[in-house]
């Protein structure tokens, strides 16, 4: 029964939210003070809703192992083509995220966004943070020596 719950609960959450990984631990301080390192964010996918400045999204960037949780600071719709462009920034960062995007990429597009943060649970992600940081230490030790 426990095994069934471990399989069915994540699958059910995926069906409800429309996101492959609907819960994720925040691994950095980039969104403080709003969302802190170690908080657990819960993500949903409202793909038919327009993106809005101020909302917090989860997006994937080539070269980064984990998705990034940052705030939308600018939404631009090209007048002629209707193409949507999105610019993000961590609340605790002094500059926008263009330095994080793929080489030559100045904006995110809707397909780069995994989902929108619906809510968060303070401190619930700390076990994941500890595991992630321990993995980095072990990986560094294996490859440097």
DSSP E strands in the chain: the ranges are: 23-25, 40-44, 56-59, 68-77, 84-89, 113-121
Pair 45, 116: CB distance under 8 Å = yes
Please, are residues 26 and 37 in contact by the beta-carbon 8 Å criterion? yes
Question: What does the alpha-carbon distance between residue 145 and residue 127 come to, in Å, rounded to a whole number?
Answer: 27
Structural domain boundaries in the chain: 2-144
Rounded Cα–Cα distance for residues 68 and 62 (Å): 11
Residue 3 has pLDDT above 90, yes or no: no
**Phi then psi dihedrals of residue 131, to 5 deg:** -65, -45
Q: How does pLDDT run across 37-80, given as a tens digit for each residue?
A: 999 999 998 778 899 999 999 999 988 888 999 999 999 999 99
Q: Which of 28, 70, 80, 128 is catalytic?
A: 70
Q: Is 44 a catalytic residue?
A: no
- Just give the CATH number of 2-144: 2.10.109.10
Q: Which of 80, 97, 128, 144 is catalytic?
A: 97
Q: What is the pTM of this model?
A: 0.80
Q: Average pLDDT, whole number, for the chain?
A: 85
Active site residue 30: yes
What is the distance between the alpha carbons of residues 143 and 97, in angstroms, rounded to a whole number?
A: 29
30, 39, 47, 112: the catalytic one is 30
Q: Which residues contact 77 (CB under 8 A, 6 or more apart)?
A: 83, 84, 85
Whether 140 is catalytic: no
pLDDT > 70: percent of the chain: 83
Reported confidence tier of residue 144, pLDDT bands at 50, 70, 90 = low
Of 132, 118, 107, nearest to 35 by C-alpha is 118
Query: What is the pLDDT, as a whole number, of residue 5?
Result: 42
């Amino acid at each position: 029964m426990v095994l069934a719950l471990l399989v069915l609960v994540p699958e059910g959450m995926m069906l409800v939210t429309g996101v492959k990984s609907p819960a994720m631990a925040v691994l950095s301080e980039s969104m403080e003070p709003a969302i802190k390192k170690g908080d657990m964010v819960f993500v949903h996918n409202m793909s038919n809703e327009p993106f809005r400045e101020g909302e917090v999204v989860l997006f994937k960037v080539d070269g980064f192992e984990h998705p990034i949780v940052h705030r939308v600071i600018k939404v631009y719709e090209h007048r002629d083509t209707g193409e949507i462009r999105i610019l993000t920034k961590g609340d605790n960062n002094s500059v926008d995220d263009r330095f994080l995007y793929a080489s030559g990429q100045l904006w995110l597009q809707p397909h780069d966004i995994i989902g929108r943060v619906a809510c968060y649970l303070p401190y619930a992600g700390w076990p994941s943070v500890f595991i992630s940081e321990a993995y980095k230490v072990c990986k560094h030790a294996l490859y440097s020596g």
